[in-house]
Amino acid sequence: MVYCSDFHIHSCLSPCGSLELPPSEIARLLAARGVELAALTDHNSALNCPAFASACRKYGITALFGMEAQTQEECHILCLFNNVDTALELSGEIYGLLPPVMNNPEKTGDQVYVDEEDNILGEVEKYLVTGADLDIYGLADKVHGMGGLVIPAHVDRPAFSLTSQLGFVPNGPWDALEVVRIPSSVDTKGFPLTVSSDAHFPEHIARRTFELDTADENLVSPDGLVDMGVLKRALERRPVS
């Protein structure tokens, strides 16, 4: 089966994201625009993933959960899981590794997490767009050890990417690389490539999607969760340049 997919979406939890993007609205827009497989990846936090899970069930979207983590090198890395609890576990660990820089909503934006009915449950105190005390390889090891997948984000952009921070895409345990467009303008070392919306506002949802071909394998296990082995093998079928 071929899934129209988007693995990089921000909600009202990200300070640079719109308050008009609670998880329920994200799922509604995804369904309306034909996306079948999607991940919620707020900056350094997964606190809106429980509401996203409920919203995706309502709209029939297959969901992944995680975050766009920011490392010591100031690289953005997508960390994806098939269940909310694991995403929240990593979220707590990453939050503890963030510097004590408090968010100022009037200057840098709100960081609110909500329930499935869009009621605000709380606001994150630390500013989420800062680097955790963990390097790219330590993060990858941690995510893989928790059963997740690791996709460095927008590697061909001039900020917060492997190429902007390191000058190149290093060899590493990456399950894929996210680029803005295919073919890519940078050397992607033969890793499978994805694109994404990197949505922060309603009009961004599904502006860039990619096809994920699971061949004759079932992406969703009998327990209702995404089979991460099937997902990884499907990513390996993606273009590499």
pLDDT in tens, 35-64: 999 999 999 999 999 999 999 999 999 999
Residue 118: which pLDDT band, with cuts at 50, 70 and 90?
A: very high
Q: Is 85 exposed, middle or buried (0-12, 13-18, 19+ CB in 10 A)?
A: exposed
pLDDT at 157: 98
- Distance separating alpha carbons of residues 93 and 86, to the nearest angstrom: 11
Q: What's CA 231's distance to the chain center, in Å?
A: 15
d(C-alpha 237, C-alpha 231), whole Å: 10
| Maximum alpha-carbon separation in the chain | 50
What lies within 8 Å, CB to CB, of 32 at 6+ separation is none
**pLDDT confidence of residue 202:** 98
CB 185 within 8 A of CB 156: yes
Is residue 32 a contact partner of residue 220, using CB atoms and an 8 Å limit? no
Asked if 42 and 11 count as a contact pair (C-beta separation under 8 A), the reply is yes
Closest of 59, 66, 55 to residue 24, by C-alpha: 55
Tens-digit pLDDT profile for residues 62-110:
999 999 999 999 999 999 999 999 999 999 999 999 999 999 999 999 9
pTM over 0.85: yes
What pLDDT shows up at residue 223? 92
Summarize the confidence of residues 123-129 as an average pLDDT.
98
HSE-CB at 71 with a 13 A cutoff on CA atoms is 24
Averaged confidence pLDDT in the chain: 98
- What contacts 112, CB < 8 A, 6 or more positions away? 12, 13, 19, 120, 121, 122, 123, 124
SS3 content of the chain, % helix, strand, coil (to 5): 25, 20, 50
Q: How sure is the predictor about 191, in pLDDT bands with cuts at 50, 70 and 90?
A: very high
Question: What CA–CA distance (Å, rounded) separates 186 from 200?
Answer: 24
Structure confidence at residue 158 (pLDDT): 97
What's residue 177's pLDDT? Answer: 98
pLDDT, position 46:
99
Q: pLDDT per residue over 197-220, tens digit each?
A: 999 999 999 999 999 999 999 999
pLDDT band at 16 (very low <50, low <70, confident <90, very high): very high
pLDDT recorded at residue 229: 98
